């Protein structure tokens, strides 16, 4: 028990350091936690041996997995149903192309140019097809675009893009068996009943019984996650769909969703992101930096090549088209989830995993910086109504 407490305090100490760094340099804390994990993992391996950081302990893997599940649920809950209905053609078209173009392009580059195996190449395509709700949502809140139809459209397209990624991860790498069929049937029935049951518990027991909504949602996420693992799928898939089904409920219960986000980001997700970073091999990256460059150019290039003409169907202004396209070219949370899935299931090697994670990190920073510096559509910014302090969070942010 002493060792568990010591390792937990060490990891939470790294989380505190990450939060301080994220505050001062004003970028997503998830990104900083991955980088801190890379540094901590490298130092621990060099001076204390492999796994000395405790990143393969079962209880720590459970905490990390729980963080990924709850973070995925929150990402789905950020969906604005009104935006999807109002701008469904734009959101669906941009989101689907935003997934397909990099998935096909990056898979082809990994297979034909880098010489990776079929499964590793497909995993690379899935990991690099994502966009980052964390980064995009942070930018939307910082600029005020979250209050405009322009910003809401981008967020909706990000959701569709990442939904395609989660589904592809399950379909490609999970064998379809009788267990899969049972999982799908139970998930469809449960997700159909989920909003009504949640509203019922809230109406009858909400604000009366201690945190029953959190307990109810946690029960569903763990139950569906267990069923997903039993069927050889990933627990993030039902979590994302569950979040989507509760998006309208979440929009009506902002205090509750903020508390759930605080618990998730404050305690659970640091274990996930720091652990993801701890598996990155810096020696492998330094030995072949050209692979990193090729994969990064493939991800961002295929996104731009596929999305710029499609975005042009809905946005004629030059700066709007480029800003929209570049923000859709980012990646972070689901990219690392897919890469870590591939590594823990022996689909990609440690060096391949390292390249994928570093490319995901690069895509979270470079396109965002270029978009804000060179293509910010200032004419769409809402009129200032008093300055707000914005606190950067992982998968989304709270205005404080």
* Mean pLDDT, rounded, for 326-335: 87
pLDDT at 312: 94
What are the pLDDT digits (tens) for 37-73?
A: 989 988 998 888 877 888 889 999 999 989 888 988 8
Partners of 47 in the β-ladder: none
Q: Counting Cβ atoms within 10 Å, is residue 138 exposed (0-12), middle (13-18) or buried (19+)? A: buried
Q: Indicate the domain borders of the chain.
A: 2-377
- The band of 159, judged by pLDDT with boundaries at 50, 70 and 90, is confident
* Mean pLDDT, rounded, for 172-179: 82
Q: Are 376 and 323 in contact (CB under 8 A)?
A: yes
How does DSSP assign 288-328, residue by residue? -HHHHHHHHHHHHHHHHHHHHHHHTTT--SHHHHHHHHHHH
pLDDT at 393: 42
Percent of the chain whose pLDDT exceeds 90:
40
pLDDT at 151: 85
Residue 294 has pLDDT above 70, yes or no: yes
Structure letter (DSSP) for residue 395: S
* Mean pLDDT, rounded, for 265-280: 87
- The band of 394, judged by pLDDT with boundaries at 50, 70 and 90, is very low
pLDDT at 209: 66
pLDDT at 189: 94
Report how far residue 11's alpha carbon sits from residue 278's, in angstroms, rounded to the nearest whole number. Answer: 11
pLDDT at 384: 64
Name the region of 386 (left: φ>0; alpha: ψ -120 to 50; beta: rest).
left
What are the pLDDT digits (tens) for 19-32?
A: 999 888 877 777 78
Specify the fold of 2-377.
Na+/H+ antiporter like fold (1.20.1530)
Q: Chain-centre distance of CA 231, in angstroms?
A: 23
pLDDT at 391: 39
pLDDT at 328: 94
Higher pLDDT, 46 or 176: 46
Instruction: Give the list of residues 6+ apart from residue 106 with CB closer than 8 angstroms, or none.
Output: 124, 125, 128, 129, 295, 298, 299, 302
pLDDT at 397: 41
- The band of 173, judged by pLDDT with boundaries at 50, 70 and 90, is confident
- The band of 271, judged by pLDDT with boundaries at 50, 70 and 90, is very high
Residue 305 has pLDDT above 90, yes or no: yes
Q: Are 98 and 161 in contact (CB under 8 A)?
A: yes
What are the pLDDT digits (tens) for 310-330?
A: 999 999 999 999 999 999 998
The listed range with the strongest mean pLDDT (59-63, 143-147, 175-179) is 59-63
Residue 387 has pLDDT above 50, yes or no: no
Residue 309 has pLDDT above 50, yes or no: yes
pLDDT at 334: 83
What are the pLDDT digits (tens) for 242-263?
A: 988 898 888 888 888 888 888 8
pLDDT at 104: 96
- The band of 396, judged by pLDDT with boundaries at 50, 70 and 90, is very low
Assign 34 to helix, strand or coil.
helix
Percent of the chain whose pLDDT exceeds 70:
93
The listed range with the strongest mean pLDDT (83-92, 292-301, 355-364) is 292-301
Q: Are 33 and 18 in contact (CB under 8 A)?
A: yes
The pTM (predicted TM-score) of the whole model is: 0.78
């Amino acid at each position: 028990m002493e060792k568990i407490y010591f390792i937990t305090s060490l990891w939470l100490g790294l989380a505190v350091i990450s939060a301080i760094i994220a505050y001062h340099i004003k970028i997503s804390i998830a990104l900083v936690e991955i980088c801190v994990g890379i540094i901590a993992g490298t130092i621990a391996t060099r001076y204390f041996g492999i796994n000395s950081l405790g990143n393969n302990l079962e209880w720590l893997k459970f905490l990390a997995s729980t963080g990924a599940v709850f973070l995925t649920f929150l990402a789905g809950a950020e969906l604005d149903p009104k935006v999807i209905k109002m701008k469904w053609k734009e959101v669906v078209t941009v989101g689907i192309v935003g997934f397909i173009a990099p998935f096909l392009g990056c898979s082809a580059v990994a297979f034909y140019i880098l010489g990776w195996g079929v499964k590793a190449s497909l995993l690379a395509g899935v990991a690099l097809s994502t966009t980052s709700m964390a980064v995009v949502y942070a930018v939307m809140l910082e600029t005020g675009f979250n209050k405009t139809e322009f910003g809401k459209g981008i967020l909706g397209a990000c959701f569709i893009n990442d939904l395609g990624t989660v589904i592809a991860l399950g379909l490609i790498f999970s064998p379809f068996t009788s267990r899969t069929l049972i999982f799908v049937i139970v998930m469809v029935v449960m997700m159909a009943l989920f909003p009504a049951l949640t509203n019922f518990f809230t109406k009858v027991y909400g604000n009366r019984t201690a945190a029953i909504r959190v307990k109810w949602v946690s029960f569903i996420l763990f139950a569906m996650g267990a069923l997903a693992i039993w069927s050889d799928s990933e627990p993030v898939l039902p979590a994302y769909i569950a979040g989507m089904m509760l998006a309208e409920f979440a929009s009506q219960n902002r205090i509750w969703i903020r508390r759930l986000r605080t618990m998730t980001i404050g305690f659970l997700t640091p274990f996930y992101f720091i652990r993801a970073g701890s598996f990155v091999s810096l020696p492998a990256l330094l030995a072949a930096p050209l692979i990193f460059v090729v994969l990064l150019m493939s991800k961002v290039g295929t996104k731009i090549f596929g999305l710029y003409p499609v975005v042009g169907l809905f946005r004629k202004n030059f700066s709007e088209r480029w800003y929209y396209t570049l923000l859709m070219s980012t990646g972070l949370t689901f990219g690392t989830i897919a890469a870590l899935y591939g590594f823990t299931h022996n689909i990609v090697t440690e060096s391949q995993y390292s390249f994928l994670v570093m490319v995901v990190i690069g895509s979270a920073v470079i396109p965002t910086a270029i978009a804000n510096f060179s293509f910010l559509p200032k004419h769409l910014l809402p009129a200032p109504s008093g300055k707000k302090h914005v606190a950067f969070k992982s998968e989304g942010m709270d205005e404080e």
